[in-house]
Amino acid sequence: MSADRIVHRHLGGLRATLDGLAGESGRIERWGVDLATRLSRGSRLLAAGNGGSAAEAQHLTAELVGRYRGEREPLSAIALHADTSAMTALGNDYGYDEVFARQVRAHGRPGDVLMLLSTSGRSPNLVAAAEAGRSLGLTVWALTGPGPNPLAEAASEALCLPGETPSVQEAHLVTVHLLCEMVDRSLASRVSAPARATQELVP
């Protein structure tokens, strides 16, 4: 197969996946507003994934703790796989299926959001984390590939995208950026609303 054909096939697959993502704009906006509300009130986001999905999850937490576009207050977001000592200890002592679930039970509180990313939606450690999160009163969101799948079924709500693993993973990064955009927009609107109200009161 020629390089040209490989490139076009890959981009064609990604385009189809992004078309599926375009149909989820309402859900992404709703998640962003909800997440902004929770984080601004002291709740936190816990996130996890395996392999490339771990990188996407950590990208999300970095954008929230740091900043996405404009300057704002830092938001509480923790990537569960980033603590290598905890990960290796839990994997060694409890098995890899428990590496996220036990951390969720340690850190999660009612009102927190648990975001789990998986291109297959079939990773046992993420399914176990979803079940642990829901049992503790966390809202569990899943970003996955084609549904139905076990993770989507275990989550409170899932955004399932069509396509093969590479396209889904690339679209998950786009989803992360869109979610951050919605969070920032929601927070900015809350900051500007009191200012507008004050201006309206000035004679």
> What average pLDDT does the segment 33-50 reach?
98
Q: pLDDT-derived band of residue 3, with 50, 70 and 90 as boundaries?
A: very high
Indicate if the pLDDT at residue 195 is higher than 70. no
Q: What end-to-end distance do the CA atoms of the chain give, in Å?
A: 72
Question: Tens of pLDDT along 82-141?
Answer: 999 999 999 999 999 999 999 999 999 999 999 999 999 999 999 999 999 999 999 999
Give all domains of the chain, ordered by start, each with its CATH number. Answer: 3-187 (3.40.50.10490)
Q: pLDDT-derived band of residue 145, with 50, 70 and 90 as boundaries?
A: very high
pLDDT of residue 198: 44
Tokens 């999660």 locate to: 108
Indicate if the pLDDT at residue 194 is higher than 60. no
**What's the rounded Cα separation, in Å, for the pair 73 and 65?**
8
pLDDT of residue 193: 52
Q: pLDDT-derived band of residue 197, with 50, 70 and 90 as boundaries?
A: very low
Does the pTM surpass 0.95? The reply is: no
Pairing of strands 77-79, 113-118: unpaired
For residue 129 the two structure tokens come to 């984390």
> What average pLDDT does the segment 143-148 reach?
98
The Cα angle at residue 14 between residues 13 and 19, in degrees rounded to 5: 100
For residue 104 the two structure tokens come to 């969720």
Question: Tens of pLDDT along 58-69?
Answer: 999 999 999 999
pLDDT of residue 190: 82
pLDDT of residue 203: 54
Comparing 70 with 152, the larger pLDDT belongs to: 152
pLDDT of residue 87: 97
Average pLDDT, the chain: 94
Indicate if the pLDDT at residue 162 is higher than 80. yes
